[in-house]
Amino acid sequence: MSTTVENIQRQISENPILIYMKGTPQLPQCGFSAQTVQALMACGERFAFVNVLDNPDIRAELPKVANWPTFPQLWVEGELVGGCDIVVEMYENGELETLIKETAAKHQDDEQPEG
């Protein structure tokens, strides 16, 4: 049976764009998660998410793994981008969309081609 840390590492490695958040993209459960996911959705690419409220083991372990104490956390290609303030700032200056679109383009062969 895999440990929580192994699960986190697998999630991060298998999902090029991943947000750990409170709630879901459709129903965020905190203002910071809401702002972060709105910025991410505005970039127009698919992304994975983990609701840490449904996964208390991940909620407890991820801050230690990431060395980042709060949620949400945006991970892109295995690297922690940051939390709400950083993601919103990157969105406002255009960096986030560039990063997300470039990452999505690199990984688009992982998904079905668009018709």
Residue numbers in the known binding site are 22, 30, 59, 71, 84-85
Assess whether the previous peptide bond of 16 is cis (omega < 30° from 0): no
What residues contact 75, with CB distance under 8 A and at least 6 apart? Answer: 12, 15, 17, 18, 19, 20, 81
What is the 8-class DSSP label of residue 112?
A: P
Among 30, 44, 47, 115, which Cα is nearest to 81's?
47
Residue ranges at the known binding site for [2Fe-2S] cluster:
30
What residues contact 47, with CB distance under 8 A and at least 6 apart? Answer: 15, 17, 18, 19, 40, 100
Residue ranges at the known binding site for glutathione:
22, 59, 71, 84-85
